Amino acid sequence: MRIITKISEMKGYAHKAKKNGKVIGFVPTMGSLHDGHVSLIKASQKESDITIVSIFVNPKQFGKGEDLKKYPRNLARDLLILKKEKIDVVFIPAEKEMYPEGYSTYVNVEGAITENLCARSRPGHFKGVATVVAKLFGIVSPCVSFFGQKDAQQAVVIKHMVKDLNMCVEIRVMPIIREKDGLAMSSRNTYLSEKERKEALAIYASLKHARTLLEKGERSAHVIKGEIKKVLLSGKHVKIDHIEVVDAENLKPLKKVKNDTLIAIAVHVGKTRLIDNMVIRT
């Protein structure tokens, strides 16, 4: 496993690999790796000759009062995981390497996909996400890049950016990986106390309840959102950020559930913000 920290070296490696006809698969991460990340790595290894993983906690996607400083970091553990998975390259740039003094260029995807859902409570977040991913694509030059369905809005933003800017990379969105009890895997799960962890299970329970209603024929977004709310509020430490029923492609709100509908949830359990979702294929 090769560790690269400099942009020039990473670009040189990628250029040589592609010149030799290699297919580069790329998994961008902020570290604190878990089985969700590993699933993306394994997917890349199936499709690609070379798998590159980046570890970079991107300051541009954290807003005022968010958890940048306390975001979980464990590089030694991450490297052990990546070595075990036999990845080819890990790219670990410093903040000053990615954003040198005088940096002033940003990518801003506009429209409903960056106005609804998480964007309402995290202004500027997706501008930061799009900017860092665009930079990483330019540095790593991947043929295909892998993202998780848990961050559904992020995946939609990235796909639109790639399409609008004619980037030569295919985007794969892989299924949510869950803990044995159903909680969607997230680096932020480590923030939860034992009691909060139990209450967080209401998130997945509410999605399963919504699926049961749909199987019985319910199609009203208003009714489904109301039922999800009831389940979520069963926990004393759960505070709802949003419950949305939207088109899975453009994230516009829907009154009726149809094919390719995204049911998206964001809550605070104690001080920890968690997200989860479910895509409906009718």
Instruction: Reply yes or no on whether 160 is catalytic.
Output: no
Instruction: Write down the residue that tokens 């995204």 correspond to.
Output: 262
Catalytic residue among 37, 125, 160, 222: 37
The crossing angle, in degrees rounded to 10, of helices 75-84 and 35-47 is 40
Give the pair of three-digit tokens for residue 267: 């809550």
Active site residues: 37
